[in-house]
Structure 1
Amino acid sequence: MAWLHITAPPNWRATPTATSKCACGWDRIAVGRRRVLALTADHEAHKNACPLRTPQEGRTAA
């Protein structure tokens, strides 16, 4: 349901990028080391809060 794709070139001076997507519509892009690290944390937090993975209130468990 959620995908995180990170591109980190082998050259240390090259700029890494990341894309975080989810079937619920979550779609984020980050460029640069600090932003890629922040997006990685946001991606993990989203996986715990995603409406497609979190049971909705009032729904009966199968």
Structure 2
Amino acid sequence: MGALIQVAEQYHLEPMLSSQIAVARSGILGTVREASVSVCHDYHGMSVLRRMLGIGFENATITA
């Protein structure tokens, strides 16, 4: 035991998602309180949604 584990997430770096996240975070749309992602699933989808909403690791309500 004692092994170190590192987790990396890359979906937010894809050009289309990166652009969408930038627009959502720019303020052009006002305060973004809701988002929907269909390009990725599970942990990856949640990672992208959290970035779009700018919530990091804060508590969030998720409906699916």
Report TM bin, short chain: under 0.3
When Rg is computed on C-alpha atoms for both structures, the one with the higher figure is 1
Give the number of the structure whose residues are more often helix, by fraction: 2
Alignment TM-score, normalising by the size of structure 1: 0.25
Alignment TM-score, normalising by the size of structure 2: 0.25
